[in-house]
Structure 1
């Protein structure tokens, strides 16, 4: 039976992540490829790539890999048919916490961008004399 998916180099190109980073995520169990080729190459499904893109979106907001792992497990719990109602409630609360933190972190980033834009404007107003 043929195994389908994208090889790690293709995923690295598609996501803007390095091969080293993708291997590290696999080692940590944050994102593991869904399959392997007959030759042992990692094969990533579309779902795996979406998970990697989710991580890429969280990293600039300074979420740690540990926090990202907790979040991804919560997402998996909500999608699971085997999870108990208590587990799903806990997962929902974790996701709500991440949503709240994301809003706070986004506001801090917006402030930093505004400061950077102000500074650039000030730099542009300096005389060009050297």
Structure 2
């Protein structure tokens, strides 16, 4: 095994994702192991780990696996020096759309957090001894 490649357990440790999630993302086309051992075990490189760390926050933000795939596909096209100008332009448009969607989702999460904080403050006031009078 090359020092540049690690087994799935190391990837799980470094990304905080379970083995099952990593395998699922592989099945869904978000990730392809960079190499395999002679015994067929998956091996991952730094780029694979970086890809997982990029898509990891998308799930709790409500992005679907298909949207995650659109992101990684767009990034793959943009990283491909042989990609046509039209493909690169379409990938840039896709990346920009995902970025805008993420900004919208962050704003919505911030609003939801503010409402939750206001609610907990109300509960604090209701449960304080002064509120019992």
Could you state the TM-score of these two structures normalised by the residue count of structure 2? 0.90
Counting matched residue pairs gives 128
How far residue 86 of structure 1 moved from its aligned partner, in angstroms, is: 0.4
SS at match of 1:115: helix
State the alpha-carbon separation in 2 of the partners of residues 119 and 5 from structure 1. Answer: 48
SS at match of 1:61: coil
SS at match of 2:30: coil
How far residue 5 of structure 1 moved from its aligned partner, in angstroms, is: 1.0
State the alpha-carbon separation in 2 of the partners of residues 127 and 22 from structure 1. Answer: 44
Q: Which moved more, 1:14-23 or 1:115-124?
A: 115-124
State the alpha-carbon separation in 1 of the partners of residues 114 and 37 from structure 2. Answer: 48
**Aligned residue number for residue 39 of structure 2:** 39
How far residue 84 of structure 1 moved from its aligned partner, in angstroms, is: 0.4
How far residue 32 of structure 1 moved from its aligned partner, in angstroms, is: 1.5
1:46-83 CA distances to partner (integer Å, 9 max, x unpaired)?
A: 10000001111222221110011011101110110121
Equivalent positions of 1:89-100 (< 5 A) are 89-100=89-100
Structure 1: gaps (5+ residues): none
**Aligned residue number for residue 72 of structure 2:** 72
State the alpha-carbon separation in 2 of the partners of residues 118 and 55 from structure 1. Answer: 31
Equivalent positions of 1:81-96 (< 5 A) are 81-96=81-96
Q: Please provide the CA RMSD for this pair.
A: 1.4
Flag the structure with larger Rg: 2
Structure 2: gaps (5+ residues): none
State the alpha-carbon separation in 2 of the partners of residues 123 and 35 from structure 1. Answer: 54
**Aligned residue number for residue 103 of structure 1:** 103
How far residue 39 of structure 1 moved from its aligned partner, in angstroms, is: 2.1
1:102-130 CA distances to partner (integer Å, 9 max, x unpaired)?
A: 1111100000111111111112122368x
**Aligned residue number for residue 27 of structure 1:** 27
How far residue 16 of structure 1 moved from its aligned partner, in angstroms, is: 1.0
